[in-house]
Structure 1
Amino acid sequence: MSDAVDLLIIGAGPAGMAAALAAAPSGARIALLDDNPLPGGQIWRDGPHAELPPKAREMRARLDACANVRRHAGCKVIALAGPKRLLLEDAERGWLLAYDKLILCTGARELLLPFPGWTLPGVTGAGGLQALIKGGLPVDGERLVIAGSGPLLLASAATAKARGARLGRIAEQASLGAVGRFASALWAWPNKAWQALELFDATYRTGSHVLAALGSERLEGVRLQVGKRVEEIACERLACGFGLVPNTQIGEALGCALSDGAIRVDAWQASSLADHYAAGECTGFGGSELALAEGAIAGHAAVGMLAEARALWPQRQRWQGFADHLNRAFALDPALRRLAQPDTLVCRCEDVPLSAIGGRRGWTEAKLSSRCGMGACQGRVCGSAAQFLFGWQPPAPRPPFSPARISTLAKLADAAESQAPDLSSARTPG
């Protein structure tokens, strides 16, 4: 047996929360899943050192007041279990959930690119460091360098400084001209201009990127390319993030078409698969404001409130303009493809160096020769890196999508049995 809902929303970040709140007035039975303890996603992540914005607290309170929205925290999608049915697992149980409509709000993850020393203790992603600090990681007094691309560098730096870290450098790979053009156009989005002013730090340098993390047992410093010169800065922590990659695995497994690496949607946020919608950064990176607009449109559309959805199109268009401007300004320099050396690990899970996969024609050949992408992350880290380095299409998702208990996986047999035709009453010839 399985539970059933009218609308299933996967992901409780800004897009998922907005979708649930938009659909709730219809009275539909709604389930909102997320693998975090509380709604908010990565941008509104909770923790001992987190400071949630008023918008996040207000949306949480509104969700709590919706009697027809069931929240499943710490919950993961493990596998497909037939048409419009998924196998789920949380800390207590594994179960099957059937749905009529589905909205994917699965967000994005950091793009991590390999460079010498990137596996040293003390090296993390920029967003990863921010999440760790919000969760209670002590950084007071530690020397920190942040490198990569995009506004996340500034946000991560601000979080670390607020907890006492000593910031040595923010190294932005985009050129001064690109960043200048981006900043000069922010008048069209005044709140973004104000955020940029609040987050700016005197250590920020454009046209600068990491060359290597230095140290033997753990991180001791970082080597940076700054324009035409090379600098070395002593530090205990290095956070590198080169943008975001849409989380499309579940959408791909369901059969949703992609466009430019993100789930393709139409004006109603509908995917190529009937009754399946998508919103937020799984459809392309654009920030929380765009995610909120897309989520609300998807929620309204999924329950047939098309006039309400259409009314939000101008809001979405405004924030899509910001997203397009942002993505053009912080496009990655092709020179970053040359950071990894022959002995640099590309697949950290299986200890596969660049020399073992360079020259291969794709994922299948790389796996056959080196086990690249076959470790615990199932290609989520090295797959995105290899796509940037070699142009390989990331590996297709295969269940289970996350580690699961045997008892949970056994429920797939129950699903198969329930879908088998009942032949007990069939009449035999003669």
Structure 2
Amino acid sequence: MNETTDLLIIGAGPAGMAAALAAASSGAHIVLLDDNPLPGGQIWRDGPQANLPTEARRLREQLHACANVRCHTGTRVITCAADKTLLVEDAERGWQITYERLILCTGARELLLPFPGWTLPGVTGAGGLQALIKGGLPVCGERLVIAGSGPLLLASAATAKHQGAQVLRIAEQASRAAVAGFAAQLPRWPGKLFQSISLFDHHYRTGSYVLEALGRERLEGVRLLQQGKTIELACDRLACGFGLIANTQLGQALGCALAGQALAVDAWQATTRVGHYAAGECSGFGGSELALVEGAIAGHAAIGNTAAAQRLWPRRARWQGFARALNKAFALDARLKTLARADTLVCRCEDVPYGELAGQENWREAKLASRCGMGACQGRVCGAALEHLFGWTPPTPRPPFSPARIDTLLHLEQTPPT
């Protein structure tokens, strides 16, 4: 059976949950869709070894109490079936959802940059390691190095230590001056100050980044440039993430314009397409607090409650200030573009090395010459890396946006409900 709704929200992280709760008081029929088993998104991912914050549990309970909010978990968007109609799929079936208004809360994914050895077993993203541990990955007694940029490194380290891992080094590529300047501003956001103090680890080093992951069959160690000196550490796991990339694929497919690398929104969190809103990290990075208030503004605006939305503008401005400070402090060092060697794989799906790409002019030429971006991930990993390395414009999103069953695709032949 196909489905109709007044308001469809894609993504049940902090922004999506806040949007649904803000809109629920109107009595409108709301559908909240997410590909995770439970609401919470990546930051509040649940699992056997997850320790959910109180706020995440409270929001989840409030959602369950809303009779006019229906949650479809474990569900992915496959393609746009018609105007204001999406084809979606869960583990059991595929169907179409037709909506009047839509809020995109599609979040972000990690930026992974290639360096020698980054494809060895035992090397993951920093956020990827955190998700694996929450899902039950045993790391007790393992030696870990966590590297890259941003507060996620400290959060991942804390998750790993809580499960018994030995964190040998947290290598932050930002300079000591940049991190110190950011820390000096944290009293403006007391909650973030206390959080940073609780997460601090004496193995944290600024001005440090990965040069190479070492090993033959799997990771055995890591070579770092640490404040100008090259060091090597034997380790069992390396988690390396260089910040976030906004998930704009669905928004672009729906005709929403970009502002830089994120979805463009106005003061009401409205995109450039009428009736379509965006909130959270798909419209820019700033942490869960900013995502929550943006989601609430989008939820109020989508149901026409502009007064309630406008009352939240000062809170959003406050957390936008935090976002600006964060993004400035942890801007990536240009030297990270020089880590890959000629034989370093960039496109892991199609085994395309850096040397085959360095002489190309753009994505189209690279794909014609090497099949880069044409594998299972459809350029989600290598596309972001090459945009950072060479400034290439990523390819235009093409459906299907996720792998789909044949019987799901057959729903495209059906007339959507009216």
What is the correspondence of 1:120-139 to structure 2 with a 5 Å cutoff?
Answer: 120-139=120-139
CA distance in 1, matches of 2:361, 2:249: 22
Where does residue 290 of structure 2 map in the other structure? Answer: 290
Where does residue 47 of structure 2 map in the other structure? Answer: 47
Where does residue 426 of structure 1 map in the other structure? Answer: none
What is the correspondence of 1:397-408 to structure 2 with a 5 Å cutoff?
Answer: 397-408=397-408
What is the correspondence of 1:233-248 to structure 2 with a 5 Å cutoff?
Answer: 233-248=233-248
Q: Is the Cα contact below 8 Å between 1:11 and 1:34 reproduced in 2?
A: yes
Where does residue 336 of structure 1 map in the other structure? Answer: 336
Where does residue 205 of structure 2 map in the other structure? Answer: 205
Q: Is the Cα contact below 8 Å between 1:81 and 1:415 reproduced in 2?
A: no
CA distance in 2, matches of 1:90, 1:395: 27
Deviation at 1:359, TM superposition (A): 1.6
User: Aligned to 1:400, what secondary structure does the other structure show?
Assistant: coil
User: Aligned to 1:201, what secondary structure does the other structure show?
Assistant: coil
Deviation at 1:30, TM superposition (A): 0.4
Where does residue 370 of structure 1 map in the other structure? Answer: 370
CA distance in 2, matches of 1:97, 1:3: 5
Where does residue 82 of structure 1 map in the other structure? Answer: 82
Q: Which amino acid aligns with 2:131?
A: A
CA distance in 2, matches of 1:221, 1:373: 29
Where does residue 313 of structure 2 map in the other structure? Answer: 313
CA distance in 2, matches of 1:374, 1:269: 33
CA distance in 1, matches of 2:190, 2:67: 36
Where does residue 266 of structure 2 map in the other structure? Answer: 266
Q: Which amino acid aligns with 1:151?
A: P
CA distance in 1, matches of 2:255, 2:360: 27
The sequence identity of aligned pairs, in percent, is 71
User: Aligned to 2:408, what secondary structure does the other structure show?
Assistant: helix
Shifted more, 407-416 versus 238-247: the winner is 407-416
Where does residue 428 of structure 1 map in the other structure? Answer: none
Deviation at 1:3, TM superposition (A): 1.1
Q: Is the Cα contact below 8 Å between 1:80 and 1:86 reproduced in 2?
A: yes
Q: Which amino acid aligns with 1:218?
A: R
Where does residue 388 of structure 1 map in the other structure? Answer: 388
What is the correspondence of 1:92-241 to structure 2 with a 5 Å cutoff?
Answer: 92-241=92-241
Deviation at 1:92, TM superposition (A): 1.1
Deviation at 1:396, TM superposition (A): 1.0
CA distance in 1, matches of 2:13, 2:45: 9
Where does residue 7 of structure 2 map in the other structure? Answer: 7
Where does residue 425 of structure 1 map in the other structure? Answer: none
CA distance in 1, matches of 2:13, 2:20: 11
CA distance in 2, matches of 1:20, 1:141: 41
Deviation at 1:387, TM superposition (A): 0.4
Q: Which amino acid aligns with 2:331?
A: A
CA distance in 1, matches of 2:114, 2:413: 40
Cα-to-partner distance string for 1:187-224 (whole Å, 9 max, x where unaligned) = 10011011111001000000000000000000000000
- What runs of 5+ residues in structure 2 fail to find an aligned partner? none
Where does residue 38 of structure 1 map in the other structure? Answer: 38
Where does residue 427 of structure 1 map in the other structure? Answer: none
- Please, what TM-score do these two structures have when normalized by structure 2? 0.99
Q: Is the Cα contact below 8 Å between 1:150 and 1:172 reproduced in 2?
A: yes
Where does residue 67 of structure 1 map in the other structure? Answer: 67
- Please, what TM-score do these two structures have when normalized by structure 1? 0.96
CA distance in 2, matches of 1:102, 1:308: 19
Q: Is the Cα contact below 8 Å between 1:263 and 1:271 reproduced in 2?
A: yes
User: Aligned to 2:399, what secondary structure does the other structure show?
Assistant: coil
Deviation at 1:228, TM superposition (A): 1.7
Cα-to-partner distance string for 1:34-60 (whole Å, 9 max, x where unaligned) = 000000001000000001111000000
Where does residue 277 of structure 1 map in the other structure? Answer: 277
Larger radius of gyration: 1
Q: Which amino acid aligns with 1:322?
A: F
Q: Is the Cα contact below 8 Å between 1:13 and 1:43 reproduced in 2?
A: yes
User: Aligned to 1:114, what secondary structure does the other structure show?
Assistant: coil
Cα-to-partner distance string for 1:300-350 (whole Å, 9 max, x where unaligned) = 000001110000000000000000000000000000000000000000011
CA distance in 2, matches of 1:358, 1:193: 42
Deviation at 1:22, TM superposition (A): 0.2
Deviation at 1:178, TM superposition (A): 0.2
Deviation at 1:415, TM superposition (A): 4.0
User: Aligned to 1:212, what secondary structure does the other structure show?
Assistant: strand
Q: Which amino acid aligns with 1:6?
A: D
CA distance in 1, matches of 2:415, 2:141: 54
Cα-to-partner distance string for 1:149-197 (whole Å, 9 max, x where unaligned) = 0000000000000101011100000000000000011110011011111
Cα-to-partner distance string for 1:123-165 (whole Å, 9 max, x where unaligned) = 0000000000000000000000000000000000000001010
Deviation at 1:2, TM superposition (A): 2.8
User: Aligned to 1:86, what secondary structure does the other structure show?
Assistant: strand
Q: Is the Cα contact below 8 Å between 1:82 and 1:415 reproduced in 2?
A: no
CA distance in 1, matches of 2:14, 2:59: 9
Q: Which amino acid aligns with 2:235?
A: C
